[in-house]
Every structure is written in C-alpha cells, then in structure tokens.
Amino acid sequence: MRNQIAAANWKMNGSFSKGKELLETFKENFNSLPDFQQIIIAVPYPYLAWASQYATSFMHIAAQNMHHQTEGAFTGEVSAPMLNDLGINYVILGHSERREYNNETDELLKQKVELALKHNLTPIFCCGEPLNIREAGTQNQYVQAQLQNAIFNLSADQIEKVVIAYEPIWAIGTGKTATAEQAQAMHEHIRTCIQKQYSFETSQSISILYGGSVKANNANEIFGQTDVDGGLVGGASLQANEFVAIVKSLVA
C-alpha cells in the first residue's frame, strides 16, 4: 500500500506559542499510526530545530523550502546540509507561492529536487495549474510539463522517493476546493504520466497528495479517491482539531 500522508504547511503563520499548542495537540492525539500513514508538519525555518523534538517514526517535521546550492554567499537562505544537521527529512519544494513570489521555475526546482535527494531529504514536489489554465481546459498538459521539466529527469529509484502534491492554484487558500472528481482525474493523469515515463510499478508506488482548501468536512471524500494518497493542508492545519480530523480521514 502507498503511504497515506497528511502534511501541514504552516507557511509564515502563527507564533512559537501557537506552534507549541498545535504540536502538543497532535502528540496527544496520535500515539501511533498504521505503518503506511504519516503526518508531516512543515514549520517556518526558525522553529525547525525546536519542532524536531516532536518528530516520531510517523510524525515528521519538514522545511517549507531550501536553497539549490549547498553553501555560499546566499543571505537569508537555508541549505540541505543544514536541514540534515537538524535531522529534518522532508522539504516542500515548488509550492505555488514560491513559484509566484520568488520566481521559482521548473529549471530551478529540478536542481532543488536533485539536491534534496542527494542529501536524503524527501521532496514534497508541488505542481498545479492557475485558474486561467483550468478555464482553458489545458490543465493536464500544464501539469505534465511541470513534471517533465522538474522531476522526470530523475531515475526510477530517485523518483520513487519523491512525494508529489497536486495543488490547483485556484483552490489554495480560496475556500474553493476541487471536486473529488477533479482531484481524482488529475491524480490519475499524473500517475499515467509517471507510468509512461517510467513504469506501472513506479507509478503505483508514488504518493500523490491533493492540496487546496482541504478541511475536516471534505477530507474524507477527497482522500477516498483511488489515486489520492492524502493531502497538503494550509489554512486548516493551523486549527488543531481540524487537522486532527483530517489525519483521521486518511484511508485506513
């Protein structure tokens, strides 16, 4: 069975005390999870070292980004080896907010993904189309190009270590969720692209998360789709009870 994952992306929200409250609540609610279920919490950089104390075999702390080089004169940046130092083993790469506000391109993301894997960090690689592309009906080609340009250079062994998050930009933080059918259709398309590029086995082994206004009241239906293996959750991950319910919606 593929890993079922509930990933939280706090973005630049909250505070130390709010983060503590959230992590304490998750710790209290989850003493254990089945082997194939994982919780990943992507916290802001300053909290990474502290948050690591909450990491368990099933609850991981993640970074929200990392630089594409290992060291150097890059003021304000954080490197893969620094994440290694803290025992961090997941990193979100290519979130649409970074693509938009920090001009991150597929070419840059290709370098980041390769570097993350080289340093034993699991990339949560984000892809997804903006509204105008969805309205034009060309979302399949758009997402396929993102995969092709940023991660299809990897070997089968490498890509099997990547988690993919499909996040339609028009559904992020807007309260507009893709319907379960829209999510399933794109996840199936992504899996087919992987199958064509690699193999059926590889396509079946990769966890593909849905992101875009996942809440406790829609997680069950979305996570219940054949090709959806959990979610990447922004807003709702900042409300302890919401995120606990979302984790409980993972397919058992």
Binding site for ligand PEP (CB under 6 A): 9, 167, 172-173, 211-214, 232-236
Side-chain half-sphere CA neighbours of 134 within 13 A: 14
> Which of residues 171 and 203 has its CB atom nearest to ligand PEP in the complex?
171
Would you call 187 a catalytic residue per the annotation? no
Q: Output the smallest distance, CB 126 to ligand PEP, in A.
A: 7
> Which of residues 6 and 232 has its CB atom nearest to ligand PEP in the complex?
232
Q: Which of 97, 129, 167, 242 is catalytic?
A: 167
Q: Output the smallest distance, CB 184 to ligand PEP, in A.
A: 17
Give Rg (Cα) of the chain.
Answer: 17
Would you call 188 a catalytic residue per the annotation? no
> Which of residues 126 and 159 has its CB atom nearest to ligand PEP in the complex?
126
Cβ-contact 167, 211 below 8 angstroms? yes
Which residues are CB-neighbours of 248 under 8 A, at least 6 positions away?
none
> Which of residues 212 and 230 has its CB atom nearest to ligand PEP in the complex?
212
Q: Which of 68, 95, 119, 187 is catalytic?
A: 95
Q: Output the smallest distance, CB 75 to ligand PEP, in A.
A: 26
Q: Output the smallest distance, CB 81 to ligand PEP, in A.
A: 26
Alpha helices in the chain (DSSP H): 16-29, 48-51, 80-85, 96-101, 106-118, 131-136, 139-150, 156-159, 180-197, 200-205, 216-223, 240-248
Q: Given the DSSP bridges, would you call strands 4-9 and 90-93 parallel, antiparallel or unpaired?
A: unpaired
Active-site residue list: 95, 167
